[in-house]
C-alpha cells in the first residue's frame, strides 16, 4: 500500500534516490570491468554481462531523473516519457540477446572458447550479494511509495544477480574443465534472462501497488 504522508514519502523518495545512485555507481563498474575482462578473455558471457550492465545504467539514469523531479518539483516524471525510455531499453536487450545467440552459434562452429578470467570472476561474484541487498531494499520502498518504475528497476537488479551467478558458474567450469564450449553454453543460458528483462521493459512491469508513480 502506498504511503500518503507527504514528509514520510519525501524521506522514502530520498532513500530511493540514494539506493539508485549506488546502483548506478556499481553497474558502471560492472560494465567497465565486465566488457574489458570479456575482451581480454574472449568471453561472450562476460561481454553480455558488461553490455547488460550498460543498459542497466541507462535505466538507472532515467529513474534518477524521475525521482529527482519528484523531490525538486513535487510531481511525478512523465509516464509517457518513462514508457518510451523503457521500450528503448527493451529493444536494446532484444538486440543483445540476438547478438549472444549469433556469437554462441559462431563459437560452436569454430570450436573456440574463452580463456579463464580471474577479474571477471571477481566482479561477477561480488555483484550477486550487492544486487540482492539493493533489490530487496528497493522493492520495499517501491511498495511504500507506489512506484512501478522503482519496482521494475529492482527486478532488473535481481536479473543482474542471476545473470552474474550464471557467469560465475561458467567461469568456474572453464577453470575446472577447460572445455571450449562452456562459454557458449553459459551465454545461451543468459539469453533467457535478457529476453525476460526485455519483455518486461517493453510491456512495463506491474508492481501491484494501489498507486503507481
Report the residue count for the chain: 213
Considering the domain 6-203, what is its CATH architecture? Up-down Bundle (1.20)
Task: From 111, 119, 116, select the one nearest 41 (Cα to Cα).
Answer: 116
Q: Which three cell numbers stand for residue 184?
A: 557458449
Where b means 16+ CB within 10 Å and e means fewer, 79-95 reads: eeebeebbebbbebbbe
Give pLDDT tens digits along the chain (213 positions): 455 567 788 888 899 999 999 999 999 999 999 999 999 988 888 988 898 898 889 888 888 887 888 788 765 555 666 677 667 777 877 887 888 888 788 777 867 667 789 999 999 999 999 999 999 999 999 888 877 778 878 888 888 888 899 889 888 888 888 777 887 888 888 888 888 878 877 876 544 443 444
Domain ranges of the chain: 6-203
* Burial of 101 (C-beta count, 10 Å sphere; 0-12/13-18/19+): middle
Cβ-contact 209, 146 below 8 angstroms: yes
- Start-end of H helices in 74-115: 79-110
Number of H helices, E strands in the chain: 6, 0
Amino acid at each position: 500500500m502506498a504511503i500518503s504522508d507527504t514528509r514520510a514519502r519525501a524521506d522514502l523518495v530520498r532513500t530511493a534516490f540514494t539506493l539508485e545512485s549506488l546502483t548506478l555507481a556499481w553497474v558502471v563498474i560492472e560494465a567497465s570491468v565486465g566488457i574489458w575482462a570479456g575482451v581480454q578473455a574472449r568471453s561472450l558471457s562476460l561481454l553480455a554481462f558488461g553490455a547488460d550492465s550498460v543498459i542497466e545504467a541507462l535505466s538507472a539514469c532515467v529513474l534518477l531523473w524521475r525521482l529527482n523531479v519528484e523531490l525538486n518539483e513535487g510531481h511525478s516524471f512523465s509516464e509517457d516519457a518513462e514508457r518510451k525510455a523503457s521500450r528503448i531499453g527493451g529493444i536494446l536487450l532484444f538486440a543483445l540477446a540476438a547478438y549472444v545467440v549469433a556469437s554462441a552459434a559462431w563459437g560452436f562452429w569454430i570450436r573456440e572458447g574463452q580463456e579463464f578470467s580471474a577479474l571477471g570472476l571477481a566482479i561477477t561474484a561480488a555483484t550477486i550479494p550487492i544486487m540482492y541487498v539493493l533489490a530487496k531494499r528497493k522493492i520495499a520502498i517501491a511498495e511504500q511509495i507506489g512506484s512501478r518504475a522503482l519496482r521494475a528497476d529492482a527486478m532488473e537488479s535481481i536479473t543482474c544477480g542471476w545473470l552474474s551467478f550464471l557467469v560465475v558458474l561458467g567461469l568456474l567450469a572453464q577453470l575446472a574443465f577447460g572445455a571450449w564450449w562452456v562459454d557458449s553454453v553459459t551465454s545461451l543460458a543468459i539469453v533467457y534472462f535478457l529476453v525476460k528483462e526485455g519483455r518486461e521493459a517493453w510491456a512495463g512491469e506491474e508492481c501491484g501497488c494501489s498507486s503507481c508513480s
